[in-house]
Amino acid sequence: MGKQIKFCLVFRDMWQAAGKYVPRVDQLTQVAPAIVRMGCFARVETNGGGFEQVNLLFGENPNKAVRAWTKPFHEAGIQTQMLDRALNGLRMSPVPADVRKLFYVVKKKQGTDIARTFCGLNDTRNILPSITYAHEGGMISQCCLCITFSPIHTVDYYTKMAFELIEAGADEICLKDMAGIGRPASLGKIVANIKAKYPEIPIQYHSHSGPGFSVASILEVAKAGADYIDVGMEPLSWGTGHADVLTVQAMLKDAGFEVPEINMEAYMEVRTLVTQMMDDFLGLYIPKRNRLMNSLLIGPGLPGGMMGSLMTDLETNLASLNKWKEKHNQEKLTQDQLLIKLFNEVAYVWPKMGYPCLVTPFSQYVKNMALMNVMQMEKGKDRWSMIADDIWDMMLGKSGRLPGPLDAKLVEMAKAQGREFHDEDPQTNYPDQLDTFRQEMQENSWDFGEDNEELFELAMHPQQYRAYKSGKAKTDFEADCAQRRQAEGVKGGSLELPQTIEVEVEGTKYSVVIGEAGNTATGTTPASAGGVSAGTGEGEPLLAPLEGKFYLVKTSGDTAVKVGDSVKKGQTVCYIEAMKTFNAIAAEKDGVVTEIVLKSGDSVSEDDVLMKIK
């Protein structure tokens, strides 16, 4: 019998690669026993990454979800695994060290065994502390090589990185081929190099199937000595997801490897339950295109996990752009036309932005930059004319060293704007904050939770957690779900919009207005253009340049502008959070703020009035 290969079901990533959301905790606990009965999984990816935020967006408690979801696997002797973004923890932006340390303690006590840590810049300075924190929390530290394909990301580059991580104490290595564009032969060489020097270190291979390389890559890394293979299963395998366990098992068995048998009755049960979840509501957030493989993804190299939400977000961006084009008597774009423009722009901007690995959050930064360029150029504006603060932080080195050089034009722009380049340890830019969040918990009389897990959740996801506690997250989600059901014809026949629906959250009833063309307003006045009031104050209106959610500040420590404040032209006065990044909105003139039209967290459309300045 040949070498033993074990399988990990990446259940969380299956959903994230397909669409926007993951199942509710009641759905997860229902499917868990059937996954166990399949009898072929040594590991299951249960949480991490977007999992926690998605629960908050549902208006549900992610801590309860993790504890309930990991429990049946522990009882069956199956290891649980989560995704950890190193400096960014479980979110898109960097996390203070004290919050990172608490993270591993909480997740281990909740039932997670393995922390799969990655940095989208492959900057080991961001990963190495996680090895220590994971060990201190009692977790297995699995460190990632974020795989991409460029002149910089060579076999030698990845081999040296793996050696550094192992020598620093990593228990395992994962080849995280998040876009599935790693070339099979090169991946096999990387694994062989690691095993030649460190044969005792387990190696796990993770790949998305979108561009079409994944099955060949799995066979190559298995032959080179990989120990674990990440797999998906129908109806969420293939496409932007992962190779199906049935295919991988049959292929490796024929190649002479020892692989576990699969209980097909249980497989079909899981398949049926997942289909029911999609029919319930999750399918509303899964674009049909994400169920297809697409070799066009070889060029832009966008990861499967991001493609899940991209196609959903693209609908909104296309509607916004076409509304502008119609207003200016221009021909509308189709989704295919916008998608090709986006793919081409990603391929153009990626090397100029220093070749960051296209994985969260940097895949979103590159994609967002490309999409913003496309949107601006379609409107006759310049490329690079709007760059979000998070994107600047990455390009300036605040999140770590870029793998490649930044384009000279971007360097000139940074200097002209007085922006500072960084090469210090990225963690030093983000001081401890737990005491601040403790104070907020106490002031609100919020329960700190078992093992301080509620404190952790607030500190990791402040805005989402506050929306969850207030009930706003639940009402927004229910309203969005209801509107999508209307659009898909799933429920309610052909009711006309806008419409008011009643949503009950923890015994309190809310009236929620569902608007037209994808605009949802919760507790706000219908607007002239996109769901918010045009305002009645004096002065010139400051308009939203894009769709998203309005915030006066980006972090809890920032000072918000208020009515009566004097502002200068070019001064940041608010933010629009779109596509998971915060876009700074600057005053267009010197003056005094006479009115702030919106509340933090309100949805806005392009050209909505944000505030007035006189």
Contact 262, 40 (CB under 8 A): yes
Q: Which range is most confident: 228-237, 312-321, 519-528, 567-576?
A: 228-237
Q: Which range is most confident: 45-59, 440-454, 564-578?
A: 440-454
Is a pLDDT exceeding 90 seen at residue 521?
no
Distance, in Å, from the CA atom of 320 to the CA atom of 606, rounded to the nearest integer, reads 7
Q: What is the pLDDT of residues 444-494, one digit of tens each?
A: 999 999 999 999 999 999 989 999 999 999 999 999 899 888 887 744 433
Which tokens sit at 56? 């908050």
pTM listed for this prediction? 0.81
pLDDT at 492: 43
Question: Domains of the chain (ranges plus CATH)?
Answer: 6-289 (3.20.20.70), 295-428 (no CATH), 471-523 (no CATH), 540-613 (2.40.50.100)
Q: What is the mean pLDDT of residues 126-148?
A: 97
Distance, in Å, from the CA atom of 369 to the CA atom of 51, rounded to the nearest integer, reads 25
Q: What is the mean pLDDT of the chain?
A: 88
Q: What is the mean pLDDT of residues 198-217?
A: 96
Q: What is the pLDDT of residues 572-583, one digit of tens each?
A: 899 988 766 788
Query: Which secondary-structure segment (H or E) carries 105?
Result: helix 97-110
Contact 479, 503 (CB under 8 A): yes
Work out the pLDDT band at 11, boundaries 50, 70, 90: very high
Q: What is the mean pLDDT of residues 333-355?
A: 90
Q: What is the mean pLDDT of residues 231-257?
A: 96
Count CB neighbours of 590 within 10 A: 12
Distance, in Å, from the CA atom of 393 to the CA atom of 444, rounded to the nearest integer, reads 32
Amino acid in the structure at residue 393: D
Distances (CA, A) of 337 to 61, 314, 342, 607: 40, 12, 9, 24
- Nearest-CA neighbor of 209 among 174, 186, 184, 173? 184
Q: What is the mean pLDDT of residues 257-261?
A: 98
Q: Does residue 159 or residue 16 have the better pLDDT?
A: 159
